Structure formats: structure tokens, C-alpha cells
Structure 1
Amino acid sequence: MSMPQKMRRNHQMKGTSGCRRWVRPQGSLELKQGEIHLWRADLDRHMDSLPVLEQTLDAGEREKAGEFHSEADRNRFILARAILRTILAKYLNTQPGQLTFCYGPQGKPELAGGSVRFNVSHSDGLALYAISGVHDVGVDVERVRPGVEEDVAGWLFPLRAIRFLEALPQPARRHAFFQGWARMEAYQKARGEGLALSFENFETFLHQRDLVLFGPREDLGEAAQWWLHGFFPRRGYVAALAARGHKCRLRYWRWHASN
């Protein structure tokens, strides 16, 4: 087997978990010890709920929505934030509009009081939410798009990461890029750092197996504090979850306006 073939095979074995079955929850929701709940929302399918859901947003969220020039992007942002409120309200037994958020130095939202940890990401019409009782979490979703890996890798990534990607044939190269990007973003979001980490460590995220304890070079002292999970939330998308602490049981929920 040639080296590119071997790398492609190994990457597929180590990479993102296959498509999961996302189900609508029945009855009340409970975050049990050792669990993290992942939610998927198909934003474009719920545009008819926009007028009602928009009423749950606070003044800051409405102001942020007004900054979008594209109506489609603005509406997706509104839905993504309003759905976050409806999800959190289910766990806290309150009304979505009653929730109060505070924000970290890099803009990561948190619930005032910190009773539930969460993170949210959306790409085009797909939104993902990670909910935890005790773990710091970060989630990222990316729609796989052709040509992006060539445009970005050449001017952002170190040579070793570029060589790793170039050794993979398409479409494995494209998926490896987006999987690595989602993992890196999820990890940084879990730490509340935005894109603060150096791209010099990007190859760390390209090589990681699924559900392992890990840490980039500058965090070797904290390596045992973090684990990472990659998955396919929907055809054409890749995603990743990062969490502080030990491996947790994951539950996969599908949001619907009638929930």
C-alpha cells in the first residue's frame, strides 16, 4: 500500500465518527452525571417560527442581529440564539425570555449563575448546541466546501500540516482540513479563547483519534484535562465537541419547534 493510500486509510479510521441518529426528546430533560447533550437544529426548516422565537431575545441579541447585512444570515442568527434559549429553558424549567447571559473576555456566552454549561455553533442552515452540567464545553460545525483548504492552508498553517494534507487524495484532504478546523475551534471555544491559539499547532488536531485525552504543545501540562469528539451532524457537514474532564456519555437530540 502506498504512503498516501495508507495515510488516507488511517485518517478515515481515526477521524470523525459516522452519522448519528438524532431523536426528538420525549418528556422532561435531565442532565445526568457523566452526560453531555448535543442538539441539532435545522434552521432553514423553522423560518416560519421566526416571529415568535425572536420575541425571546434580549436587547443585546437584537442589536447583534441588526449588524448582519444579509437577511438570511440575520434570520439564521436570530433562530440560532432563540433556539438556544428554548433548549436551556427546558433544563432550567423556566421561560426562554427569562434567561440572562454574561460573556467572557472573548465573547463566549454563559448563563448568569452558571448552573448549566453550554456552547453553540452554526454554519449556514445548521446549528449545534452542547449542554453540560459540570464540564466546560465547546462545539463547532463546518459545512464542507470545495477549495477552502487550498486558500487557507497555504497562508495560515505550518509546513508540516500542509504536507500532511497534501499527502491525502481528495476528497479525504478536504474532509481532513474541515475536521481539523472544527476540532481546533471546538477546543478553543471550550477554553473561551476564540482563535487565540497559534496555527503552529494545527497538525495536532489533524492527527487526533476520536475521544482521546489530548493537549496541544503549549498545553502539555493540561493534556489530561481535555477530550475531543468528532462527528458528522448531517451530510455535507463535519463537527467537533471539546470538553474538560473525562470522557462522557453523549446524547443526540433533534430540536423541533413543537418540542
Structure 2
Amino acid sequence: LSILSSEERSRLADIRRPEAARRYLNTRLQLRGILASYLDEAPARLSFIVRPGGKPELARLPVQFNLSHSHELGLLAVSALHPVGIDLEKIRDMKYPSRIARRMFSAEVWQQWSAAMAGENQQLLFFRQWTALEARQKAFGYGIFATPVPPDDLHCRHFFAADGFVAALATPSSHDEPALRFFNSPPTAYDAA
């Protein structure tokens, strides 16, 4: 726990459910370990700030990152060049997907979604559009209910992060589309910290 900041340790102490506390701890340790390896810096020396809108960033280093998790899976996007946003969702049944889609998606996306065949296709399309929306918003540190970032301002790349999980990575359209590299980081990699 020594590599965590006092704020991270305080937040960890406030988490009541053991499973949620374990997930938070693992996420923070993994985040620090991965970013530290990119920066050739000790994980404990990394200092984070939170921008208006809630997006965390490194206090004094120029690397951009964004984190998302769903159930037991997490994704971290890292870029030395430009803002990145990433979102991950487990494909699952939803109670009121049409209400959410109508409220959150653009008119064009709503029409595509509502025209899709019911069932699995519509469910997959919902989560592809949802992760794209969240990734775009997160790239610039905007909340999900803030004014939507125009889709043309960002590349949005969809992929399956694991069986049953869909993800989207958003990067500025003014840059070349990034290369994706995947690394599996075991949940216990930093248990000794």
C-alpha cells in the first residue's frame, strides 16, 4: 500500500464491500505500475490531479491516460501525444435500453439503433454506441451528461476486449489513428506492494 497516495489510501478505507475494495486497490496499483513503466519512474512518485469534469491526469508529466473497467476487466489507454478516452462494457441485458438510447444517442445513432433487429444485434449495437459516446466524452474530461463531443472530432475505434465485452478508444481526428497494443496484466502483479 505504500505506493498509494494518502488520498488513494483514504478512499480505499472508505470502501465497505471487500470485493469493491480489492478491485479499487488492484486498479490503482496496476495504473501506477503501468504508467511508471512508461515513464521510467517509481510508481509511488506519480502524482495525480483531477481536471474539472473529473478526468484524472498526471500532475507533472506529459503522458495522457484514461481508465475504464467493467466487472472484473479493466482497460487503460496511454498516449504521449494527445488526449485519449476509453470505455468498456460487458454486453448484457438492460431493462430500458430504448429509453437510454433515445435520451443519450444522437438522432442519427438513435435511428440506426432502433432500426436494428431486436435481440442480440440491437444489444451489441447499443453497447458499441454507448462505449463510443463515453470514450469521446472521457477523452476531453467531460461527463456523460455534458454537451456531447461531436463524433467527427475524434477517431473512435471499437474492439472486443474479451469474450462478452465491447470497448471503444477515442483519439483526436487531427492525428493519425493510433496503433493498439494489448498486454495482459495479472490481477496479482502488485499484491506485494
TM-score, normalised with respect to structure 2: 0.84
**Structure 2 unpaired stretches of 5+:** none
Q: 2:127 aligns with which of 154, 172, 178?
A: 178
CA distance in 1, matches of 2:61, 2:16: 33
CA distance in 1, matches of 2:182, 2:105: 35
CA distance in 2, matches of 1:130, 1:100: 18
Asked if 1:197 is matched to 2:146, the reply is yes
Q: 1:98 aligns with which of 33, 36, 45?
A: 45
- Alignment CA distance shift 1:154-1:238 (3 Å): closer
**Residue deviations 1:39-89 (CA, integer Å, cap 9, x gap):** xxxxxxxxxxxxxxx432111112223343422122111211110000011
**Residue deviations 1:204-248 (CA, integer Å, cap 9, x gap):** xxxxxxxxxx934xxxxxx3x521111100011111101122212
* Cα RMSD (Å): 2.4
Give the aligned partner of residue 21 of structure 2.
Answer: 74
Aligned residues of 1:149 and 1:177 also touching (Cα < 8 A): no
Give the aligned partner of residue 136 of structure 2.
Answer: 187
**Structure 1 unpaired stretches of 5+:** 1-53, 202-213, 217-222
CA distance in 2, matches of 1:109, 1:122: 15
Residues 102-181 of structure 1: matches in 2 within 5 Å?
A: 102-148=49-95, 150=97, 152-153=99-100, 156-157=103-104, 160=107, 161-167=109-115, 168-181=117-130
Aligned residues of 1:122 and 1:140 also touching (Cα < 8 A): yes
Shift of 1:148: 4.3
Could you tell me which amino acid in structure 2 is paired with residue 136 of structure 1? P
- Alignment CA distance shift 1:152-1:71 (3 Å): farther
Residues 235-250 of structure 1: matches in 2 within 5 Å?
A: 235-244=163-172, 245-250=175-180
Aligned residues of 1:229 and 1:242 also touching (Cα < 8 A): yes
Aligned residues of 1:226 and 1:246 also touching (Cα < 8 A): no
- Point out the structure with max Rg over C-alpha: 1
SS across alignment from 2:183? strand
- Alignment CA distance shift 1:197-1:69 (3 Å): same
TM-score, normalised with respect to structure 1: 0.64
Asked if 1:215 is matched to 2:143, the reply is no
CA distance in 1, matches of 2:84, 2:156: 10
Residues 20-35 of structure 1: matches in 2 within 5 Å?
A: none
**Residue deviations 1:70-124 (CA, integer Å, cap 9, x gap):** 2212211121111000001111112211111111001211112232111111111
Structure with the largest fraction of helix:
1
Aligned residues of 2:102 and 2:110 also touching (Cα < 8 A): no
Aligned residues of 2:131 and 2:168 also touching (Cα < 8 A): yes
**Residue deviations 1:9-41 (CA, integer Å, cap 9, x gap):** xxxxxxxxxxxxxxxxxxxxxxxxxxxxxxxxx
Could you tell me which amino acid in structure 1 is paired with residue 49 of structure 2? C
Whose RCO is larger (CA < 8 A, sep 6+)?
A: 1
Could you tell me which amino acid in structure 2 is paired with residue 116 of structure 1? V
- Alignment CA distance shift 1:150-1:90 (3 Å): same
Could you tell me which amino acid in structure 2 is paired with residue 215 of structure 1? P
